[in-house]
Amino acid sequence: MRFQLCAALTALGLAAALPPAFAAAGDDPLITGPIRSFTAPQGFQVVIARAEAPEGIEPRILAGLYTRHGQATEAIPGLAHFSEHVFANARASIRDWSYPEGSDSLDSNAQARSDYVSAWLTINKPDGTDASGLALALSYSAKLWGFAVPEELVETQRQRILDELERTGAYGQYRAQYALEHAFYGNRPEIEAESALAGTLSRQTIEAYQAIVYRPENVTLVVAGDLDPAAMEGALLAAFATRGPLPQREPLQPEGLLRADAIVEDAGPVIRRFDTLEGDWVAAGFAAPASSDPDFAALLVLDQYLLGGRGPFETLWQVSRAPLSPLGRALAGRASVTALSDARGYGAAIPPLAERAPAYFTILFGGPELDPAAAPSLLQSALADVRTGMSDDAILEARDQLLDFYRRWLNAANLRPLGDHLAGLSFQDPSAPERLMMLHSELAAVTPDAVRAAMDRYLLEGAWRYGIVDGQTAP
């Protein structure tokens, strides 16, 4: 945890204020060695990290692909989510797919976020070696060489997504949560809009989207878990050297990108209603390929790996469109550890880490003063119990904790008038959607610079309370 705090404070220009004990990356109890990264001969980035499973969780390895392509996913609500669903379940049609012999799938997911999309799978290690992890990593990277999208797979995943959205909208508290996401993300589509799009997307649209996204300069392959990073790097390099070049694709130029009315002409009004980019260019975010950031990719995947696959880092760093460093965004995003790991209302629930790991929460957000030496053991205890179920009442309570966190964050960031909208609000309150949308309308007037300043202030204030930086530096 100290490494992550150190990296975030470095990103905020506070590295000089850190005590020597916070300077070593190896001090993080979860990352048990340096993060290794290299560029494959075909041009895509590879990140490898060793992370020992918490006590009580069997050894495992995760492999996944992350693409960093700006805001394009938000311009067509639901397209990236649909596309990654298709890939995550298209193993039979991927060249060189080889499900590791004897392995079991422990968890898998496809996610679409404003700064990246991902698809990944976690498996156990049946033979006690890294061979299964190598096979999994090679299978995932095979997507870059192209694969067919079977029509029946599209229809299967279409129904799965529609079912998810139906469950999301069936309960008042879930609809309120969706409204809260919409308030903070600014361009999160309504449930009905995403459902309408999921019902109309075609196989050709998904193939066109993937041809844009899965290019070497835009992709990071991540392998993490109980493995030998150096040996894994050597094995992957040797395998990639025999695979040959990736398919040739035209350079990314604005005039060559797909227009909204061309890529999803069958969705029509749904797209135009929620297109938040200027003009007609849906894929404007692709024009300047995002540089891969190995540390950021590793942090994302390690959170997913250790917390059972539903990454709990999806709030504050998505608020800001300003260029906070990736590590800064990753740290800020840990705000949502106080709530369910999946904000849309399906999937497993994570007990509130603010209760199970108060020292961890203190390190990041400045809670009650606690002995910093207690943080690693408290965090390990929390991670060992992440799959514990929660009752319906506990779920609602956890979601209300998230509301309270947003309120406190807005107040601490000198945005108290906005935070007042959340005072005393509960997801069990019938007025929640209306009050959240009122907050959204006021947040829309906050410039990105102001939001970034608010985020920086809150991070710095938490560090000051914990004694990491001198009180003179605190806001």
User: Cβ distance 143 to 214 under 8 Å?
Assistant: yes
Tell me which residue of 365, 348, 252, 343 sits closest to 307, measured CA to CA.
348
Average pLDDT over residues 28-37: 55
When computed from its CA atoms, the radius of gyration of the chain, rounded to whole angstroms, is 22
pLDDT of residue 274: 24
pLDDT of residue 332: 34
Q: At what angle do helices 358-365 and 448-465 cross, to 10 degrees?
A: 130
Write down the mean pLDDT value for the chain: 53
Tell me which residue of 228, 221, 222, 296 sits closest to 50, measured CA to CA.
228
Question: How far is residue 281's CA from residue 256's CA, in Å, rounded to a whole number?
Answer: 10
Q: What letter represents residue 41's amino acid?
A: P
pLDDT, one tens digit per residue, over 182-191 is: 444 444 456 6
Reduced to 3 states (helix: H, G, I; strand: E, B; else coil), residue 371 is: coil
pLDDT of residue 81: 74
- Dihedral (CA of 10, 296, 340, 179) sign: positive
- Residue ranges per domain, the chain? 1-29+310-475, 31-173+187-309
Q: Give residues with Cβ within 8 angstroms of 42, minimum separation 6.
A: 144, 216, 240, 243, 245, 246
pLDDT of residue 117: 64
pLDDT of residue 383: 33
User: Cβ distance 231 to 298 under 8 Å?
Assistant: no
User: Cβ distance 383 to 376 under 8 Å?
Assistant: no
pLDDT, one tens digit per residue, over 291-333 is: 233 333 333 333 333 332 222 232 222 222 222 233 223 333 3
pLDDT of 272 higher than 80: no
What confidence tier does 46 reach under pLDDT thresholds 50, 70, 90?
confident
Assign 3-class secondary structure to 210-279: HHHHCCHHHEEEEEEECCCHHHHHHHHHHHHHCCCCCCCCCCCCHHHCCEHHHHCCCCCHHHHHHCCCCC
pLDDT, one tens digit per residue, over 375-392 is: 334 333 333 333 233 344
Average pLDDT over residues 29-42: 68
What confidence tier does 231 reach under pLDDT thresholds 50, 70, 90?
very high
Share of residues in the chain with pLDDT > 70 (%) = 29
What confidence tier does 278 reach under pLDDT thresholds 50, 70, 90?
very low
Average pLDDT over residues 23-31: 33
Fold of the CATH domain 31-173+187-309? Cytochrome Bc1 Complex; Chain A, domain 1 (3.30.830)
Q: Provide the residue count of the chain.
A: 475
pLDDT of residue 234: 94
Q: Give residues with Cβ within 8 angstroms of 337, minimum separation 6.
A: 312, 350, 352, 353, 354, 360, 361
User: Cβ distance 162 to 198 under 8 Å?
Assistant: yes
pLDDT of residue 240: 93
Query: Which tokens hold the place of 314?
Result: 């999806």
pLDDT of 155 higher than 90: yes
Question: How far is residue 361's CA from residue 338's CA, in Å, rounded to a whole number?
Answer: 9
Phi, psi of 142 (to 5 degrees): -60, -20
What confidence tier does 125 reach under pLDDT thresholds 50, 70, 90?
confident
Average pLDDT over residues 67-90: 63
Highest mean pLDDT among 47-61, 213-227, 360-374: 213-227
pLDDT of residue 447: 52
pLDDT of 335 higher than 60: no
Task: List, as one string, the DSSP characters of 313-358.
Answer: --SHHHH--S---HHHHHHHGGGGGGS-S-TTS-S-----HHHH-H
Angstrom distances, CA of residue 269 to CA of 76, 195, 299, 442: 11, 13, 38, 26
